[in-house]
Amino acid sequence: MFKGLKNTNYYLGEVKTIIKLNGFSSFLSVISLSLIFFITTLTLTGWWLSTTFTNALENEAEISAYYPADISLNNVQGLILEIQKMEGVKTVTAVTAEQAYDKMSEILGQEAKILSQFDENPFEAYLEIGIDLDRLEPILTTLELNDQLEYIRDNRTILEKISRISTLIALLGIIMTLAVGISTFIITSHIIREGVHAHEAQINTLQLLGAPDTFINLPFIIEGALLALISGILAAIAYLGFMRVVGNFTDGVIPFFPIIETQTVFISISVGTICVSLILGLLASLFGLKLNKKK
């Protein structure tokens, strides 16, 4: 360990020289990597937000079950108890016709005056059943077989769309993350190969003097890791700045959006990006050196 540390100054000096010699190329690489990492942070944020949003919507997934108007209160209570026992049913609430009217008035807001055009309350009493979306099919089948229920409104199309969007965004997130990983790998390993090529004579001399591979390769590995790390840091700074600006713009624009603690997530994504950039830089440098060795 100590033996390796004695050359720390040399390694850092070499890294400085290598970066300086490939100055413009290194600069462009950092910019490209920063942009790639920045896009990734945005994709990850979108992925996370959409997952949180769809999860919240899934938790709100409801089925409305309508029963005959002449059914007794006892029967309604019995029906509620029966449905509550079903697997996947979270809550069962009896909504009276008046409550249904009030709910719609609330949703319509200023447009609620249209409801006053009706002579009578157009809404019926129903059971509001909160469910686990994964159990939608068996719950619906059981409810449809229940003689005491007249009509089931399942919102199936909307719920299925939400589920599909959620899967699509997750898939997009995975693809983007993979694309970023591969791009970083290619760019960083290419930088390393360029660096090795530019220092071929020096490497050859060191080999002839008996320098071990670790001694020769370490400056290039540090270079790759450093460039990727700088890119990760720049991307994280840009991301945090961007999210702050976007946050100011969108604050309160989407009132029905669930309240989410974003700050912790944004910081986690930034720190994660920096760590991943460092790891990718290290791996790509090793890969670049391996390719060069084979050559």
Partner 1 sequence: MIKANQCSLQYKDGTVALKPFDLEIGKGETVLITGPSGSGKTSLLKLILGIEVPTSGKFEVLGQPICKGVDQDIRKLRTQIGPIFQDFRLLEGRTVLENVVLGLRFLENSPSDMKKIATDYIERVGLGHKRNQSVDRLSWGECQRVAIARAVSRRPKLIVADEPTGNLDQENAINVLNLLASFTDSNTSVLITTHATHLVDKIEPTALLVMHEGVFTFERGGAYV
Please report which helix (H) or strand (E) contains residue 259, including its range: none
93 is a site residue for partner 1 (CB under 8 A): no
Least distance (Å) from partner 1 to the CB of residue 202?
6
User: Which of the ranges 73-81, 105-113, 157-165, 209-217 carries the binding residues for partner 1, by CB under 8 A?
Assistant: 209-217
263 is a site residue for partner 1 (CB under 8 A): no
Q: Which of residues 5-24 bind partner 1 (CB under 8 A)?
A: 6-7, 10, 17
Q: Is 95 in contact with 129 (CB distance < 8 Å)?
A: no
For 204, the token pair is: 């050859």
Q: How far apart are the first and last CA of the chain?
A: 31
Q: Which of 1, 208, 245, 259 binds partner 1 (CB under 8 A)?
A: 208
40 closest CA partner among 185, 239, 186? 239
Least distance (Å) from partner 1 to the CB of residue 168?
52
Alpha carbon distance 191, 200 (integer Å): 14
Alpha carbon distance 228, 34 (integer Å): 8
Least distance (Å) from partner 1 to the CB of residue 292?
16
User: Which of the ranges 145-153, 161-169, 198-206, 258-266 carries the binding residues for partner 1, by CB under 8 A?
Assistant: 198-206
206 is a site residue for partner 1 (CB under 8 A): yes
For 231, the token pair is: 């890119």
125 is a site residue for partner 1 (CB under 8 A): no
Q: Which of residues 161-190 bind partner 1 (CB under 8 A)?
A: none
124 closest CA partner among 63, 64, 69, 62? 69
204 is a site residue for partner 1 (CB under 8 A): yes
Least distance (Å) from partner 1 to the CB of residue 212?
6
30 closest CA partner among 287, 290, 276, 281? 281
Alpha carbon distance 132, 60 (integer Å): 9
- Phi, psi (5° rounding) for residue 130? -80, 130
Least distance (Å) from partner 1 to the CB of residue 7?
5
- Looking at the Cβ atoms of 10 and 257, the one nearer to partner 1 is 10
- Binding residues (CB under 8 A) for partner 1: these are 6-7, 10, 17, 201-202, 204-212, 215
